[in-house]
Structure 1
Amino acid sequence: MHHRTDPAPAPEIAAVTPASTFRAVDAVLDRTFAEMADLLVEAGARDPRGVDEAGLGIDAVRELAQRSANHGKRVRPLLAHWGWVVADGERTGSADGLARLGAALELLHLFALIQDDVMDRSDTRRGEATLHVVAATAHEVHGGLGDPVLFGDSVATLVGDLALSEATILGLGISARVSRAWRLMTLELVEGQLLDITHTADRRHDHDTARRISRLKTGRYTVTRPLQLGALVAGATDEVLAPLTEWGDLVGDAFGLRDDVIGVWGDPAVTGKPAGDDLRNGKPTALLVWAESLLPSRHHDLLQRCAAGALRPHEVDRLADAMLRCGVRDRAEEEIDGLVRAADATAARLPTTPEVRHELDAVAQSIAWRSL
């Protein structure tokens, strides 16, 4: 089995580094949140006495700013950065567009996380309570009128919608080519999420659909489209975009499959989210498709309860252990290995320097074998 290797140290390759891109992204986000707050004040939408924030009041802009600051590894802005570098972005002088794109991707991801947490009924995210849970708990503590769960979901929906709106404004204000790719990415994200919901409800498990769902809602959204968008900011040609897209889909598929593995066997202390959620919710992942053919018949009752969304906590652990022992995890690792090897071969065709290929290989390695 192929294991993660640490690439040899690479020389500095550009004045615009991932770190400088992240700083520029933060500056755009800070400016965006300040503009949003100022617009509310100018429009008279905020009570200057602070009454709106008393009791169960929510400052949506501050909520977005705080949750944005608690970011993860920033994979999407990072990949946008390397797409921009591959397309020779420094030569085109488009670093401001890259920063704007990175901020848009961060806000879009914040929207997606808030929405995903509501749909999956997740209690924690990145080691902290999810927004809908925080709001619902506050409702209960303050003895609010109505259903606290509905209140929490409503708050999360509105804050998430605001993140989506601001992300769209940023993403569509760069260029026509970027706008088209941005629109496609959001369409794919929603289509993938919708397929995930409907196939879970229908108890449909087949490998082709599981792979399509993973590619649309995870791989394309996380890897391929950010890469393309970064390259488009730099004015990339089709000759650059074609191999970059192929590399992105391979690494994106590895990311999606690793996400499925983490969803079953991940350590919440490391991942920041509960383990076993995919089994608990009966998600139509490739792992469950493989489990149906690999698990001994004595465990089929667990699979049936999983498909019905009726697993009890100890049964989630039993099913995860049974899947591990019958080879589901090994099969996933072998497929991830094959995807990364194929990506390595594709990277050799990218019209860029060995140093940039080295950085892309490091990203692929970190994505494929990120911590459980």
Structure 2
Amino acid sequence: MTDHADPDAVLREFLAQGAAHSDTLGAPYRHLWTDLATATTGGKRFRPTLLLGTYRAYGGTDDRLAATVAGAVELLHTAFVVHDDVIDGDLTRRGRPNVSGAAAGRARAAGAGEAGARAYADTSGILAGDLALVGALRAVSLCGAPTATVRRLHDLVDRAVHASAAGELADVGLSVGIGDATVDDVLRTAELKTAAYSFTLPLQAGAVLAGADDRVVRRLGEVGRLVGVAFQLQDDVIGMFGDEAQSGKSCLTDLREGRQTALVAHARTTTAWPSIAPFHGCADLTREQADDVCGLLEACGSRRFVEGLVRSRLRLALDVAGVLGLPAELFDWVGARTEGLLRSAA
């Protein structure tokens, strides 16, 4: 177990241990670990914040133990992000080459053609994500908690991994046209792909580490599902209507890629859909056309509908969290991301 009460120390220790193998496994392997290290930087670290905050709220006092598991959850997140980029075919993240993108660049520099560079990029992303996933499980196993607690933690991680896999598969299925998503389909996918490991897992893991009973852990699962789905829904709203300079995401992306968001699922049920449909999945969509679609989504009530879903879920989540004794400050980061909707729901 790490000697530091800091989740980032778990990441640094994991990366240092992996890089140490490079002496015998060669330069390409060392590059893989360098790229993976870059993938762990940045982000708001809200998963460790949720875990540590919940742990302390239920009387936990061993911050070093909690930080170890919090670091493992963040490493699990890194694994999913790296794999997600491979699935989506993305070579950048946060404005810089991701694991796959960095590998592709090295392959091209070494003389590989475009097809070869892409194959090397995908291989690197898959392997890096696998290494991070194994590292997360190892950190949980060796965290130093009692055996029964470690078993409970592994059960939580296992459920989160299965849910995330199911959610990712459903999301890709919808995006490639396997059926038209209903609002319920979108909500279920968000629960599986986003809420399960980003919200439910850290909340429940913090409680388990603190020795909370099964009833509390189950109810924290409700909080995680509600907040996680609300977060994903609002993220979709920001992606469509938000300031690109702040969100870091172009409003063209979801439309060009034909993403099945709740905005789209709701719009499909309105009379505005025939005017929106030709632009959904249009690879060469222009900014002017995207602005027209945004106007239609406003006019037909889709934005208002989705933001109502966000508010209702956040309000219920806060109610349950209050009953369970969780401090409202624990959700400040989510509140900031949802542009104040969390506070307005209180």
TM-score (norm: length of structure 1)? 0.80
Which residue is 2:139 aligned to?
170
Code of the aligned partner of 1:26: D
Alignment partners' CA distance in 2, 1:124 and 1:275: 17
Tell whether 2:161 aligns with 1:186.
yes
Residues 297 and 109 of structure 1: is their aligned pair in 2 closer, same or farther, counting only changes over 3 Å? closer
Task: Report the equivalent of 2:171.
Answer: 196
CA distance in 1, matches of 2:69, 2:175: 33
* Aligned position for 1:49: none
**Helix, strand or coil at the partner of 1:89:** coil
Give the superposition deviation at 1:221.
1.7
How far the C-alpha of 1:181 sits from its partner, in A, is 0.6
Number of the residue aligned with 2:192: 216
Partners of 1:297 and 1:178 lie apart in 2 by 45
- The aligned runs of 1:1-372 (5 Å cut-off) are 24-41=6-23, 44-46=24-26, 52=27, 59-68=31-40, 70-90=41-61, 93=62, 95-144=63-112, 147-174=116-143, 175-201=150-176, 202-296=178-272, 298-302=274-278, 306=280, 309-314=281-286, 315-350=289-324, 352=325, 356-369=326-339
**Percentage of identical aligned residues:** 30
SS of 1:28's partner is: helix
Deviation at 1:228, TM superposition (A): 0.4
Would the alpha carbon gap of residues 114 and 259 (structure 1) be closer, same or farther in structure 2, given more than 3 Å must change?
same
SS in 1 for 2:20: helix
Runs (4 or more) in structure 1 with deviation over 6 Å come to: none
2:6 alignment partner, SS class: helix
Distance 1:287 1:228, change over 3 A: same
- Alpha-carbon distance, 1:177 to partner: 0.5
Q: Deviations over 1:209-232 (max 9, x none)?
A: 111100110122211111001111
Residues in 1 aligned to 2:298 and 2:88: alpha-carbon distance in whole angstroms? 24
Partner-residue secondary structure (3-state), 2:43: coil
CA distance in 2, matches of 1:32, 1:255: 29
**Mean alpha-carbon deviation: is it higher for 98-107 or for 126-135?**
126-135
Cα contact 2:10–2:72 (8 A) shared by 1: no
Across the aligned residues of Structure 1 and Structure 2, the Cα RMSD in angstroms comes to 2.6
Q: 1:164 to 1:274 in 2, by over 3 A?
A: farther
Name the CA distance, whole Å, in 2 between partners of 1:59 and 1:214.
33
**Which consecutive unaligned segments of at least 5 residues does structure 2 have?**
144-149, 342-346
- 8 A contact 2:4–2:64 mirrored in 1: no
Give the drift of 1:76: 0.9
Task: Give the secondary-structure state (helix, strand or coil) at the position aligned to 1:219.
Answer: helix
**TM-score with structure 2 setting the length:** 0.85
Q: CA deviation at 1:363?
A: 4.4
Task: Tell me how far apart the structure 2 counterparts of residues 280 and 22 of structure 1 sit (CA, whole Å).
Answer: 45
Counterpart Cα distance in 1 of 2:329 and 2:235: 22
AA aligned opposite 1:293: T
Give the letter for the 1:344 counterpart.
L
Report the CA distance between 1:87 and its aligned residue.
2.2
Report the secondary structure of 2:11's partner residue.
helix
Deviation at 1:253, TM superposition (A): 1.6
The answer to which structure, 1 or 2, has the higher relative contact order (CA under 8 A, 6+ apart) is 1
Q: CA deviation at 1:237?
A: 0.8
Hey, what's the Cα distance between the residues in 2 that align with 1:222 and 1:366? 16
Helix, strand or coil for the counterpart of 1:235? coil
How far is the alpha carbon of 1:300 from its aligned partner? 4.3
Letter in 1 for 2:14: T
Is the alpha carbon distance of 1:249 and 1:22 closer, same or farther for their aligned partners in structure 2, counting shifts above 3 Å? farther
SS of 2:25 mapped into structure 1 = coil
Q: Is contact 2:255–2:282 with CA below 8 Å preserved after alignment?
A: no
Evaluate the alpha carbon distance shift between residue 337 and residue 156 of structure 1 in structure 2; reply closer, same or farther with a 3 A threshold: same
What's the offset of the Cα at 1:96?
2.6
Contact 1:136–1:149 at 8 Å: present in 2 too?
A: yes
